[in-house]
Amino acid sequence: MGKKIAVIGSGAREHALVAALQRSGTGVSVTVWPGNDGMEGVLREGSLPGDPAHSARILSESGADLVVIGPEKPLMDGLADALRLRKVPVVGPGSGAARIEGSKSFAKELMQRVGIPTAEWAKVSGRSVALEFRKRWGLPLVFKADGLAQGKGVAVVKTEEEWEEALVRYFEKKDVPGGEVVLLERGLSGPEVSFIVATDGKRFVPFPTARDFKRIHDGDKGPNTGGMGALSPVPGWTAKDQERASEIIERCLWGLSKEGTPFSGFLYAGLMMTTDGPSVLEFNARMGDPEAQLLFEVLGDRALALMEEVAAGSLEAGWTLPPAPRVGVVLASEGYPDKPVLGEILEGLPSGEDSLSDGTYYLAGVSRENGVLRSSGGRVLTAVGRGESLMAARMAAYRLIKRIRLPGSQYRTDIALREAGEG
């Protein structure tokens, strides 16, 4: 009997995950819940109910030998816990450990307890308290919603005007997702690196470094999004950086384990490389998106082996995931992130028999009606280019993105532009 793997999620990250698992050998059958209409040649099931116990029962009865959870929401809701109760092997942390992403104040307090470098911070309840901290720290400052906000809960404040705007948004209009509790953080500066590991709670295997591009427009202008592109590996990353980043992961795993909520799955540290070394901006309890679209490719045909060891708590020593140059460019709908225009016809994807030698498309917000693919979400697809260098990978990614036609759509033209010159 072949192995049955269930993947939970519907984005380009999950498309890349499914593709990686399908490369892991014959006899592996991958089903995605619910997936999206752009995932061709993949078995799909419907959406799972919100209730984790009910979902776990459905997955268990479907005969899944392994469940891999892509997005944060089901992790925070306790789907991994419910699966473990039923003895279904699962990749993803329980809801206790997933608080590392779900609550920024929980993450900050843990970092302080275990000595992980991070910006000074405070919970602030309103204008006057915020002003106290501003007097102490000066600008730039960063406002953060404590809860989940899909990348939209953070405001970096550098000017007087931005300060006023943030006070109104966070304390008067209160229209920030996840913003019932607000954190104020001292602003740091430096390049950012996504340091992501697969871990069984004790051992961990680092993926190659990546960088994502969060702002909507070229030159890092405009509002934050779920991610407009990524590159891997980050040029100039040193053995010392690797050592310091690994120590951050070790401390985080140790702290969570000691406090009774061990973490197993993909742990993501969003680092800022300051002049004093790496400082943690955030932890995520899952693979990044769009980082996953690059990083799952480096697993080659070993994705299933890695994930089975993670789920079983028996990660072998000796895993290494060597870097391979990749650049991903996200195609987004007109109006994204504020008011995406949906329902436009998407054209230019290769048909089944066209094979692409230097890249791949991973689909996200699309739906198919009468054989026609249309946009149905803000981020529509990620084009991933491969090459011998970041420069070559970048050129491949842009060749792919330029073949796609979607009225009004947008993509950044400067993903990996600076780094391709360095790496």
Taking CB under 6 A as the binding criterion, the range among 113-121, 134-142, 287-295, 399-407 that sits at the site for ligand GLY is: 287-295
Q: Which residue is nearest to ligand AMP (CB)?
A: 282
Name residues contacting ligand AMP, limited to 204-243 (CB under 6 A).
214
Smallest distance, Å, CB 343 to ligand AMP?
30
Cis check: omega of the bond before 262, within 30 degrees of 0: no
Smallest distance, Å, CB 116 to ligand AMP?
14
Among 14, 185, 289, 419, binds ligand GLY (CB under 6 A): 289
Q: Decide: is 193 part of the binding site for ligand AMP (CB under 6 A).
A: no
**Total binding residues toward ligand GLY, as defined by CB under 6 A:** 7
Among 93, 288, 359, 423, binds ligand GLY (CB under 6 A): 288
153/201 with CB nearer ligand AMP: 153
Q: Decide: is 291 part of the binding site for ligand GLY (CB under 6 A).
A: yes
Smallest distance, Å, CB 132 to ligand GLY?
31
Taking CB under 6 A as the binding criterion, the range among 103-111, 124-132, 281-289, 333-341 that sits at the site for ligand GLY is: 281-289
Among 192, 218, 358, 414, binds ligand AMP (CB under 6 A): 192
Q: Decide: is 328 part of the binding site for ligand GLY (CB under 6 A).
A: no
Among 226, 270, 359, 385, binds ligand AMP (CB under 6 A): 270
Name residues contacting ligand GLY, limited to 189-218 (CB under 6 A).
212
C-alpha span between 293 and 239 (Å, rounded): 25
Q: Which of 190, 196, 203 is nearest to 323 (CA)?
A: 196
**Do 315 and 204 touch, CB atoms closer than 8 A?**
yes
Q: Please give the distance of CA 407 from its chain centroid, rounded to a whole number.
A: 27
Q: Decide: is 191 part of the binding site for ligand AMP (CB under 6 A).
A: no
Per-residue binding letters, 137-176, with ligand GLY (x by CB under 6 A): --------------x-------------------------
Task: Describe the strand order of the beta sheet including 204-206 as a list of residue ranges.
Answer: 204-206, 192-199, 265-274, 277-284
Measured CA distances, 278 to 66, 227, 229, 327, 423 (Å):
34, 21, 22, 23, 20
Per-residue binding letters, 381-420, with ligand GLY (x by CB under 6 A): ----------------------------------------
Measured CA distances, 209 to 153, 242, 286, 316 (Å):
24, 9, 15, 21
Contacts to ligand AMP by CB under 6 A:
119, 142, 144, 154, 156, 185, 187-188, 192, 214, 270, 281-282
Binding site for ligand GLY (CB under 6 A): 151, 212, 227, 284, 288-289, 291
